[in-house]
Amino acid sequence: LCSDISPLLKDPEAFRTLIDLLEDHLRASFPQIDFIAGLDSRGFLIGPPLAQRLGIGFVPVRKKGKLPGPTESVSYALEYGKAELEIQSDAVEPGQKVVIVDDLLATGGTMCAACELLKRLKAEILECLVVIELKPLKGSEKLKSIPFYSLLQY
């Protein structure tokens, strides 16, 4: 089961509308956000324009070995094996308010790993935000007490 946002990315009006909708949601939900954290790799396509609209910074959460300098890393299970994510150790300061962004939530493993990394840095995770949620895979249940928002659900 797979969903692809590539057609949305190819259409400038549709992509602008996507960013408009996400921006409107975040502005209505949170009076202060310090950073958007985007997940490798599609979160890198959505996160920076959203952060720019909000006038805040963007922090990448990448696959292991891709970031310079000291990093925090976490291993997590995928449907088909294991993977590791990293964030730079100085990406956020304790108490800074962060929204984590990705294109898709399936089983929730990658999003949960990103939450773990930001918790280690003592960030306040305001919300996990995705464009598409695959509801039958129940990934949002793994996020437990962390607020979650998806624009589309299948």
Q: Could you confirm whether 79 is annotated as catalytic?
A: yes
Residue whose C-alpha is closest to residue 26's, from 97, 95, 93: 97
Instruction: Please give the C-alpha separations between residue 43 and each of 50, 60, 132, in angstroms, as whole numbers.
Output: 10, 8, 12
Positive or negative CA dihedral for 117, 121, 122, 127? Answer: negative
The yes-or-no answer on residue 127 being catalytic is no
Name the catalytic one among 13, 16, 27, 42: 42
Q: Which of 27, 53, 72, 79 is catalytic?
A: 79
Q: Report, as residue numbers or ranges, the catalytic residues.
A: 42, 79
